[in-house]
Amino acid sequence: MAPGRRIKKWFKALSPASGGDSHHASQGDATDLGPVGTGTTGAAINPVGDAASAVPAQTEATPQATTSSGPVYRLDSKMANEYLKMIERFRILVMGRANAGKTTILQRVCNSTDKPEIFDGKGNKIDSDVVQGTLTRGYHNIQHELVFQSNPGFVFHDSCGFEAGSTQQFDQMKDFVADHAVTTRVNERIHAIWFCIPMTDSHRTVTAAEQKFFNECDTGHVPVIVLVTKVDALYLTAIRELLDGGLTIAEAKARATEKQEELLEKWLGHVKHELGMCKFPPKGYISLQKMHQENADCTPLMECTANVLNEEGLQRLLISTQQSSIGICVKYAVNKTLRHYMMLGLKGRLQMDVKSFEADLLSWFPNCEYVSQFMVCWMHYLGLLALCMVG
């Protein structure tokens, strides 16, 4: 394929979404790209080639000392790299109440308006009509794998809302998390959990069911990130409170956005306080706005997720899988790879293998076989820069 066609295909797939404010919370130093330990996790089976064994916003990643009672898995760097080579896709469990906007978020993440294809745990495709029928009857299978053809590098599992207090549903979810966090079938492991809490019912921001999960469900080395969803619902709440305060409709509309931000800060603080006191608190928080818009930006969600992963190989897998932003690929390539080489000192940089350095940089980008000659030249430039600069 000619370089010109490659770059068109690559940028078409990766063009960053444009749009308005999509999220909210607080981001650390851009050069601090999150904790990287030696623990590892994995992904799963599906019909896209796995081996048969696998929003302007503020985001906040809050790494905490683990309270997990489970075993801590440690691999040396060489073994971890070999282990992670077997993992082909990034797997996420999505949880939360019914109507929390989970499906919409997954569509935005995968740049799709279509419904996902659904597979059983063995990679067999399930008829969507059959699935819809079971959902109508109240049945939900957390084992099912949701894959969007627009980005088959992601595999999602959707846990039905257990806010109604069903012990059976809660136990099924808990067993699934326990099994898929440590399974020896590396392509079936989950790498992150997104727990959605909607603002459509802000007076009960944290329910008993959610406290039960964070007090009883030990996810081990799999990080849980709270996604505060449907933040746009706070706009009407802001209008009502301003009108109740004696403002005219025009005055209320003029101040509604500012008031909405105040309410979001209040409720996000409440969520952090309540869940922070639980036995197994979340590792990060992010609020999402305007996700109903097709051009909603999911870059902050990707960064927040990457920041709490405990293994650089998993960060690399996530960043090279996401299609929200080329910029985040560049950011991680520079801060995770280029920075490492720059710390080698002049002698170390003169001795390094430029081809290996280039491959390491390119591994942060998706579809490396389609990367244009422009990107390759850029990588060569960074390689020469690393060689020539004095530390």
Provide block-wise average pLDDT over 10 residues at a time, the chain (391 residues). 43 41 42 42 36 37 41 49 74 90 93 91 76 50 91 90 69 88 83 93 79 92 94 92 94 94 93 95 94 90 94 90 88 85 72 77 71 54 54 45
Helices (H) and strands (E) in the chain, counts: 15, 10
Distance CA 112, CA 209 (A): 31
* The pLDDT of residue 286: 95
Sequence-distant contacts of 68-76: CB under 8 A, at least 24 apart: 68/218, 68/219, 68/220, 68/221, 68/280, 69/218, 70/181, 70/182, 70/218, 70/220, 71/182, 71/220, 72/39, 72/221, 73/39, 73/40, 73/182, 73/221, 74/38, 74/39, 75/38, 75/39, 75/40, 76/38
- How does pLDDT run across 229-287, given as a tens digit for each residue? 999 999 999 999 999 999 999 999 999 999 999 999 999 999 999 999 999 999 999 99
At 154, the amino acid letter reads F
Count of C-beta atoms within a 10 Å radius of residue 46: 24
Count of C-beta atoms within a 10 Å radius of residue 207: 17
CB neighbour list of residue 372: distance below 8 Å, 6 or more residues apart: 3, 4, 6, 7, 10
- Enter the pTM of the model: 0.76
Distance CA 311, CA 36 (A): 5
Give how far the C-alpha of residue 151 lies from the chain's centroid of Cα atoms, to the nearest Å. 14
* The pLDDT of residue 83: 61
Question: Are the C-beta atoms of 282 and 219 separated by less than 8 Å?
Answer: no
Sign of CA dihedral 62, 64, 67, 72: positive
CB neighbour list of residue 111: distance below 8 Å, 6 or more residues apart: 17, 150, 151, 323, 324
* The pLDDT of residue 18: 40
- How does pLDDT run across 170-214, given as a tens digit for each residue? 888 889 998 888 877 778 889 999 999 999 876 677 888 899 999
Distance CA 200, CA 228 (A): 10
* The pLDDT of residue 21: 42
Under the phi-then-psi rule, with left for phi > 0, alpha for psi from -120 to 50, and beta for the rest, what region is 99?
Answer: left
Partnered with residue 196 across adjacent β-strands are 96, 227
Distance CA 195, CA 162 (A): 12
Burial-class residue 347 by CB neighbours within 10 Å (0-12, 13-18, 19+): exposed
Q: What angle do CA 164, 165, 167 make, to 5 degrees?
A: 135
Token pair listed for 327: 């910029």
Q: What angle do CA 137, 143, 144 make, to 5 degrees?
A: 70
Distance CA 22, CA 289 (A): 4
